[in-house]
Structure 1
Amino acid sequence: MHFFHLLCSSVFIFFVLYAPQPLLPLFSNTFNVSPAAAGSLMTATMIPLAIAPLFYGFLFQKLNTLKILKNTMMLLAITCIIFPFIKTFELLLFCRVLQGLLLPAALTAMTSHIGQTYQNDQLQKNMTIYIGSTILGGFFGRLLAASFTEFFNWQSFYYLIAISLLSLAIFIKINIKGHIPTKNKTQNKATPSILSGIKNLKKPGLFKVYSAIFCMFFCFTAVLNYLPFILKNDFNMQNTANIGLVYIGYLFGAIASLLTPFLVKIFQIPFKLLSIIFIIYCSAIILMMPNQFPVFFTAFSLFCGAMFIIHSISAPLVNKISQAPASVTNGVYVSFYYSGGALGSFLPGLIYQSHGKTAFLMVILLVCIFGLGLVYSGYLKSNKQLLDYE
């Protein structure tokens, strides 16, 4: 599979995940549910995203990841065709659960394909570019969903996603012979069971990276999920298209993440760099507390940039320090990532609807500080030579 084809597929797959987010106030009004209940549309997708990769990672050791990616994209397209016709909130949640079971198969397949195909600096470069594509997918998924809603209707955007996914899936060419590269064949032979796969994940600092990623995405999902409500209630922004435009701060993450290889070369020790970026991440949350929109938007942009730099450092880092197969390593990574997202998409919403924006951000800040403690502990205790990229 050509790398550019994979990147295009990644963008539209992330459309499926994030398109409902700017529409949560609309769904809240349409189905007469609370903000936290509306936020559960994201939770319903992220819970399967958190659990399924643990199994998919081990399953993919013996299956063709490109074949799985192709079939998954076709099934996602079908769910996107069905989604606009649903008339009850309960069925809407059920459809999101189905998408949540399909999305991790696609994400684990893509990251495993990259982990199996590339090595060393090329792995870091291509993983960073891939993460950039997920950022673009998240940004344009939100922006276009909001824009279509304002100028056309939100249902038409789902038809566009379905057509695009089907078109991209059709042109995925599957190489039946030798789909697992040589460098991973020995790994797969050495790890035939789930137990042995888990044992190979016992490397210094690996669990701290996974846990820090949990905290990072908990905070990020919380802010992004309830951003439309904050903009409406705290900044009196009622236009859906304008709310979508605020997500342009998210796009700064794509630009910032491209700096990651340069930053890694400067700091050499990934845990040291992670600690610094986590401090910036915490600072951005604090700066979002005042009710001044220019300050809020600037802090939100900084917040997004810091998040994606953390993600761009951590994803290749776990691939480098783990001795488990790429599918297992990335499956566990995706699981921790979306476990944080599942909780962050719902629990902070209960705080927001009861106590407001400041209390909401304070809770998120505490979780972020805990993540900082994890990576700083890894910096203090880990072996520099083991964790050095070079």
Structure 2
Amino acid sequence: MESSTPQPRPHTDATSWVTRGTPAYQHATLALFLLGFASFSLIYCVQPLLPEFTTSFAISPANSALALSLTTGFLAFSIVLSGAFSQGLARKHLMFGSMLIAALLNIACAFISNWPLLLSIRAIEGFVLGGVPAIAMAWIAEEIHPADLSKSMGVYIAGTAFGGMIGRVGMGLVVEHFSWHVAMAALGGLCVLAALGFMYLLPASKHFRPQRGSPLQFHLHAWRQHLANPRLLNLYAFAFLIMSVFVTTFNYVTFRLSQSPFDLSPTQISLIFLCYSLGIMSSSLAGNFSQRLGSKTAVLISLALMLFGLITTLSNQLLWIVVGIALMTFGFFVAHALASSYVGLEAKSTKAHATSLYLLFYYLGSSVTGSAGGWFWQHGGWSAVIALCGTATLVAILLIQKRR
């Protein structure tokens, strides 16, 4: 039972919090930015390479999408395990180790020319990276002053957006002049440096004490407790839906733009991922939107932007497709940043378990729907992909409307 393993008690001294305006806060935000950058660039670096994989390995679009879907699928379940094991391990060292090993695995991918082996390495990489997202969100919830929580979470999400953008755009630029092998190795080396910078900058935890040998019943009870909370369950379903929309859209827009009438090159296609710069901005501003408009209204507006953006991409004009992707991206990062911060506020205890469940559903959306979208693309084209994503967005809107 939960009572058999006492929870760590936070310090009551107000000075123990990491607060905005202090050197510790500046170091923490930069470290979290590097963490988000490295982890998400490693996860999503293969997305602009999917058309390259279909040619290099003579596989279908749905099969090539497994290079991402397996990574996020293994990541999803690893997050739940790491959320539990992190109760007995130093958070900072766990995140650092995950970043470093994943970066080295990405370098290893550069020397692989066998598709099943590449998928195996990508699956392991996803499993290893499970030590990052849930622990990062738990660290923020435990160490950052509650008044600065939304802003700090936004900075971390901005780092993930930057990583996603640089990983995708950079891969497209490098593969245009060299090969996808060189691109994978270069990104892995850059993320090794990011991991070292993170280790140096992140302040030590003050509100967390490792719990050695927590019984399995403790973790099961914690997960059941959060899954029995209707407000958290609402957020978990919401995470599944919005990530389904986001990843599926970006997965298959690369195929659409590589075909007639657009016939864009890998470099030209990768430039569409510059829309992630809007994610960097919108996630950082999400807290301000919530304070001014109210949390529910802010999320509903962000979902409306996502839906309008999806519809706009149905145009056959390249400019309007880019505008639609930009609107969808802006809305997604606002919704994700706000929902992420709400999990930490809704969970009254075992926050790492709560955030790990949120991210489990989040990445299952990426893995399941991101892969299933290949069937829609192959049998119905872009309009079928948008029908799938639009339906998921409408369901997400209904979930938010039910929240009090």
- Please, what TM-score do these two structures have when normalized by structure 1? 0.90
Select which of 11, 36, 40 maps to 2:62.
36
Q: Does the CA contact (< 8 Å) of 1:272 and 1:376 recur in 2?
A: no
Separation in structure 2 between the aligned mates of residue 208 and residue 175 of structure 1, nearest angstrom: 32
Q: Cα distance 1:361–1:113, how it changes in 2: closer, same or farther (>3 A)?
A: same
Q: Does the CA contact (< 8 Å) of 1:237 and 1:243 recur in 2?
A: no
Q: Match of 1:386? A: none
Given the alignment of the two structures, is residue 327 of structure 1 paired with residue 370 of structure 2, yes or no?
Answer: no
Aligned 1:55-204 pairs, distance under 5 A: 55-170=81-196, 172-173=199-200, 179=205, 181=207, 193-201=218-226, 202-204=228-230
Separation in structure 1 between the aligned mates of residue 349 and residue 366 of structure 2, nearest angstrom: 24
Deviation sequence 1:189-216 (CA, Å, 0-9, x none):
9x98123312542434221111011100
Measure how far apart 1:272 and its partner are: 3.3
Q: What SS does structure 2 have at the residue aligned with 1:33? A: coil
Given the alignment of the two structures, is residue 354 of structure 1 paired with residue 379 of structure 2, yes or no?
Answer: yes
Q: Match of 2:324? A: 299
Deviation sequence 1:176-235 (CA, Å, 0-9, x none):
9x84516x889x99x981233125424342211110111000011101111210111254
Q: Match of 1:266? A: 292
Separation in structure 1 between the aligned mates of residue 278 and residue 297 of structure 2, nearest angstrom: 23
Separation in structure 1 between the aligned mates of residue 103 and residue 83 of structure 2, nearest angstrom: 23
Q: Match of 2:6? A: none
Q: Cα distance 1:199–1:20, how it changes in 2: closer, same or farther (>3 A)?
A: closer
Q: Cα distance 1:234–1:299, how it changes in 2: closer, same or farther (>3 A)?
A: farther
Separation in structure 1 between the aligned mates of residue 280 and residue 260 of structure 2, nearest angstrom: 27
Q: Does the CA contact (< 8 Å) of 2:32 and 2:155 recur in 1?
A: no
Deviation sequence 1:304-342 (CA, Å, 0-9, x none):
000000011101111011113221121111111101000
Q: Cα distance 1:235–1:140, how it changes in 2: closer, same or farther (>3 A)?
A: farther
Separation in structure 1 between the aligned mates of residue 159 and residue 77 of structure 2, nearest angstrom: 23
Measure how far apart 1:5 and its partner are: 2.5
Q: Cα distance 1:364–1:149, how it changes in 2: closer, same or farther (>3 A)?
A: same
User: Which stretch shows the higher mean deviation, 25-34 or 281-290?
Assistant: 281-290
Counterpart code for 1:106: V
Q: What SS does structure 2 have at the residue aligned with 1:205? A: helix
Separation in structure 2 between the aligned mates of residue 131 and residue 158 of structure 1, nearest angstrom: 23
Which runs of at least 4 in structure 1 moved beyond 6 Å after TM superposition?
none
Counterpart code for 1:362: A
Separation in structure 2 between the aligned mates of residue 199 and residue 236 of structure 1, nearest angstrom: 49
RMSD: 2.5
Counterpart code for 2:55: N
Counterpart code for 1:48: F
Select which of 282, 299, 304 maps to 1:256.
282
Q: Cα distance 1:175–1:264, how it changes in 2: closer, same or farther (>3 A)?
A: closer
Q: Does the CA contact (< 8 Å) of 1:50 and 1:334 recur in 2?
A: yes
Q: Match of 2:231? A: 205
Q: Cα distance 1:248–1:168, how it changes in 2: closer, same or farther (>3 A)?
A: closer
- Please, what TM-score do these two structures have when normalized by structure 2? 0.87
Separation in structure 2 between the aligned mates of residue 243 and residue 235 of structure 1, nearest angstrom: 13
Counterpart code for 1:25: P
Q: Does the CA contact (< 8 Å) of 2:34 and 2:195 recur in 1?
A: no
Measure how far apart 1:128 and its partner are: 0.4
Q: Cα distance 1:373–1:234, how it changes in 2: closer, same or farther (>3 A)?
A: farther
Given the alignment of the two structures, is residue 317 of structure 1 paired with residue 355 of structure 2, yes or no?
Answer: no
Separation in structure 1 between the aligned mates of residue 103 and residue 273 of structure 2, nearest angstrom: 25
Q: Does the CA contact (< 8 Å) of 1:234 and 1:291 recur in 2?
A: no
Select which of 282, 291, 295 maps to 2:307.
282
Select which of 234, 246, 253 maps to 1:227.
253
Q: Does the CA contact (< 8 Å) of 1:104 and 1:334 recur in 2?
A: no
Q: Return 5+ residue gaps in structure 2 as ranges.
A: 1-23
Counterpart code for 1:330: T
Q: Match of 2:396? A: 371
